[in-house]
Amino acid sequence: MTYLLDTSTCVGILRGRAPKARARLDQLGKNECAICSIVLLELRAGALKSQNPIRETAKVDEFLREMNSFQFDDECANLASEIRGNLEKRGVPIGPFDLLIAGIARRHGSIVVTRNIGEFSRVPNLHVEDWELEP
């Protein structure tokens, strides 16, 4: 099973604020982990609006080098729409980017690795972990 790193986990690792997540990533290796096009968007946008966009973009590029990346495709869109409908009916919607990430995770049978357990745990049958809380 692949671990799909969300933006909060990636940012924690990049900023040196997630030592357990960094250790777990190093232990597993980048071939067992992935990001997705939504996380790429968020990481690049963050780098570009930083005080030093060239340096921060280079850090993002180096971090993502050799990491798998899942694209948001029509199957992901169908799954995300089902998730959205379910959550809205229950009155517990999640943010739009998290919704897209959840659709991608479902499509690829991935475990979402996030610091935002509260948001992703609302999605039924989505496996979620926070590596900073892991022993």
Residue 135 domain flag:
no
Q: Are strands 111-113 and 128-129 parallel, antiparallel or unpaired?
A: parallel
Are 21 and 30 spatial neighbours (Cβ–Cβ below 8 Å)?
no
Residue 134 domain flag:
no
Q: Which of the four pLDDT bands, split at 50, 70 and 90, describes residue 8?
A: very high
Supply the range of the domain harboring residue 64: 3-129
Q: What is the pTM of this model?
A: 0.96
Positive/negative CA dihedral, 10, 20, 34, 28? positive
Residue 25 domain flag:
yes
pLDDT 10s digits, 32-67: 999 999 999 999 999 999 999 999 999 999 999 999
SS (H, E, C) 87-120: HHHHCCCCCHHHHHHHHHHHHHCCEEECCCHHHH
Positive/negative CA dihedral, 73, 78, 84, 86? negative
pLDDT 10s digits, 11-35: 999 999 999 999 999 999 989 999 9
Into how many domains does the chain fold? 1
Q: What whole-number distance in Å separates Cα of residue 6 and Cα of residue 25?
A: 13
Does residue 135 register a pLDDT over 90? Answer: no
Does residue 134 register a pLDDT over 90? Answer: no
Does residue 93 register a pLDDT over 70? Answer: yes
Q: What is the CATH number of the domain that holds 102?
A: 3.40.50.1010
